[in-house]
Structure 1
Amino acid sequence: MKLSSTSKAVFVALLAMGLSACGNVSRNVAKDGSTAQELVWPKPDDVTPMHRGGTFPDIAVLRQMHAGLNKRQISQLIGWPHFEEGVWGVREWNYVFNFRDGDSDHVTVCQYKILFDENKLARSFYWKPEECARYMNPPPPPLPVPAAKAEKQETTLSTDALFAFDRYSLEDITDGGRTQLDALAAHLLGEKDRIAHINVVGYTDRLGSDAYNQVLSQRRAETVAKYLAAKGVPEELIGAEGRGKAEPVMQCADQARSKLIACLAPNRRVVVRVDTHDM
């Protein structure tokens, strides 16, 4: 059938309307796409038939939206617009998205609008209602699993009470020293399931050579460790080290030897440090 000139004119006009800026429901979109004189939202019921009721977007993909994307890239991420947007001169795309919060059956319906600049690059994004923008926020990172709370216990034993003078072997432990070590072993056995490590550290005073003091402090620490192990404290949990005259707890001025030895007594010690953790 041959169209009259009048029919042709009407057809062209209708086609132009369908392909032009009929999708720009907002008024006077800025050239740079940053805003519009008035944002106008299409009615949700006016979506195309295939988008009736809106869609449930992949939120992780939706969060990849950003300024500078072109229309093809956007369509690959979230699909084509849900309304009859037209083809030529269209500076606005509109969507209807549905969201569920967690395992809730409640569905929140949101409208999403994209404004483009004159080069058809996305520049600004809007939500209706505005609180729907929260879906663009990434979820908070999971709370860190609290590590077992570590605790430290420390027991200081005087070597003057533990050992005979200038001695270090098991046979040299005094009766009073055995009483102290028995009580300590009983305490450690009661805490055995919570113990991560036991460090036995020996110290001397500053009298004598560095080499001698180092050896003496090491041997006394090892002897205390062996005694505790013999009482049932797990040997694999126990370490021993000597630190000689390091880390003195008492500073004494030079004086008569007997008085100096008495003054330096607190430095002659064995310290048992216990690292424990919560069950």
Structure 2
Amino acid sequence: MRATFKGVAALSLALALAGCGNYSHEVAKDGRSAGQLAWPSPTNMPSMHKGGTFPNLDNLRQVRSGLDKHQIAELIGYPHFEEGVWGVREWNYVFNFRKPGNDEVTVCQYKILFDKDKLARSFYWMPEACSALAEEPRPEPAPIAAAPAPSPQNITLSADALFAFDSAGLTDGGKEAVTNLGAKLREHIAQTQSIRVTGYTDRLGSDAYNQQLSERRARAVMEALVSDGVPRTKIVAEGLGEKDPIKDCPDGPRKELVTCLAPNRRVEIRVD
């Protein structure tokens, strides 16, 4: 009788340790699915886990496929239900989440299925929306800084390369230079607000003559740009005569002085 009692007691203990076993039905050997997922009722939790726990989110985010039960327990603890010891291929938890700045608590159930070797293979949430609460928060996108306004572009063309001496008519080389400039301006014409063409002369000759010559040369460049497709509405032409010289040359033989003052004879184009 005593031996029989011991045998019955051992069997009863084994059944108690086995407990409920798997809640879900037909858990696959590879642990990646089940014929039917079943969720234990939170009201059936042992008193020690009553109400669930607030998980350490950093640890919860480290739970992944391939961890054994000991590693899972190190991260998020042992399951919250009496699922038994032997043959158990799933663990169930009840986790509580609180959003930053919000006292409201969201209660979620979490399930892990293990393969035949007791390695974690698949993970489930109820409701499924709870999975978002455990995800790594995405960093806020950096604000897109407004692009700085492009600085004005200044282009200087030598008047000696554009015009014959003492003339406001463009030479063949001058026409080619302005045509190349017009092509570049048209590439960015949508972003261009204004184009100012300014003519300059050297100090040789009278102020009145130099003023007129600088204006005529500026208009000649403007008209050539318009002919090449640059909108007239965006171009302004002006002449400043001998103002704002780039180079100062001492008086001397005229030929040498004309050569020295060449940088002052120019047409400047400012693109805003």
How would you bin the TM-score normalised by the shorter chain? 0.5 to 0.7
One-letter amino acid matched to 2:268: R
**1:76 maps to which residue?**
74
> AA paired with 2:267?
R
Residues 213-228 of structure 1 correspond to what in structure 2 (within 5 A)? 220=246
State the 1:24 CA deviation. Answer: 1.1
Q: Distance in 1 between matches of 2:20 and 2:10?
A: 15
Paired position in structure 1 for 2:48:
50
Which residue in 2 is equivalent to 1:144?
142
1:116-195 aligned at under 5 Å gives the runs 116-154=114-152, 161=198, 163-165=200-202
> How far apart are the structure 2 equivalents of 1:95 and 1:166?
93
Q: Which amino acid aligns with 1:125?
A: F
- Does the CA-based 8 Å contact 2:80-2:92 persist in structure 1? yes
| TM-score normalised by the chain length of structure 1 | 0.56
Q: Which residue of structure 2 lines up, in the alignment, with residue 90 of structure 1?
A: 88
Q: Distance in 1 between matches of 2:203 and 2:88?
A: 96
What letter matches 2:139 in structure 1?
P
**1:37 Cα deviation (Å)?**
1.7
Secondary structure at the residue paired with 1:152?
coil
Question: How far apart are the structure 1 equivalents of 2:54 and 2:122?
Answer: 22
Deviations 1:191-244 (A, max 9, x none): xxxxxxxxxxxxxxxxxxxxxxxxxxxx94x99xxxxxxxxxxxxxxxxxxxxx
Asked if the contact 2:46–2:82 (Cα under 8 Å) also holds between the matched residues in 1, the reply is yes
Which amino acid counterpart does residue 58 of structure 2 have in structure 1? A
Equivalents in 2 of 1:166, 1:14: separation in Å?
118
Paired residue for 1:236? none
- Segments of structure 2 that go 5 or more residues without pairing to the other structure are 160-197, 205-209, 213-244, 249-264
Query: Is the aligned partner of 1:269 residue 2:268?
Result: yes
| 2:32 aligns with one of 27, 31, 34 | 34
User: Residue 22 and residue 158 in structure 1: after superposition, are their counterparts in 2 closer, same or farther (change >3 A)?
Assistant: closer
Cα distance, 1:91 vs. partner?
A: 0.6
Q: Give the Cα separation in 2 of the matches to 1:67 and 1:61.
A: 14
Shift of 1:166: 8.1
Gaps of 5+ in 1: 168-173, 177-218, 224-264, 274-279
Task: Give the partner amino acid of 2:92.
Answer: N
Q: CA RMSD in A?
A: 3.3
Aligned partners of 1:121 and 1:66: how far apart in 2?
10
Larger radius of gyration: 2
How far is the alpha carbon of 1:148 from its aligned partner?
4.6
Contact kept, 8 Å, 2:199 with 2:267, in 1: the verdict is no
Q: Percent identity?
A: 48
Note the 1:97-108 alignment, pairs <5 A. Answer: 97-108=95-106
Aligned residues: 181
Looking at structure 2, the residues matched to 166 and 112 of structure 1 have their Cα atoms a distance apart, in angstroms, of 89
Q: Would the alpha carbon gap of residues 166 and 134 (structure 1) be closer, same or farther in structure 2, given more than 3 Å must change?
A: farther
What is the letter of the counterpart of residue 50 of structure 1? Answer: M
